[in-house]
Chain A
């Protein structure tokens, strides 16, 4: 059973471009969580999704950020018109049911905005 797969591992974008980060949960997991890790910081919750539903996006910046988890395919975190402050590591976790007790993290995507 493959773990949580995130791609790309590293992503470089120029200011103003769009960034798309992908997360394939573990097999049988229908709950996905996105976290962001700024430099010198711990991870901070962004959004919780189930298949085709956003359950809680209270940690997402109100503008430029969006997330989806379609019926088929990976979960996508999309950042439009990136700025330097978006440079961070973005982690995805998945679980078979709600709650982080049994959640597994991916290796993260490091986004660098130049």
Chain B
């Protein structure tokens, strides 16, 4: 079974600075997808960024980018120019590319605080 580990329960960053959230995963599959979700206090789960395992290029969405190290099974999220609205719980998630491609496996989350 796949597992996702987020080793940082909490992180903080100063506004306008850069922060990196860590995620490692364990799988024996070669075809899979990785996601970062943001959960603000409203509880809404918002997809931040997605990475296909077969793509070597790291995904980027505006101020959000990932560092995908397939061999190391590492998938970190970098937030540049942090804004107050980035404060939220961030979840890393894994999805198989095979038969169970509808199940997301989530880590326990990292609570990000942005200080003004």
Binding site for B on A (CB under 8 A): 31, 33, 35, 40-45, 48, 55-56, 59, 89, 91, 93, 95, 98-101, 105-108, 110
Contact = CB atoms under 8 A, between A and B. Distances in A.
Contacts of B105: 45
Interface of B: 4, 33, 42-46, 50, 91, 93, 95, 100-109
A55 B95 CA distance: 17
Nearest to B91: A42
Contacts, number: 57
Nearest to B35: A100
A33 to B, nearest CB: 6
A100 B107 contact: no
A110 B43 contact: yes
Nearest to A31: B102
Given A42-B91, A43-B45, A108-B43, A98 B108 contact: no
Given A101-B50, A101-B95, A91 B45 contact: yes
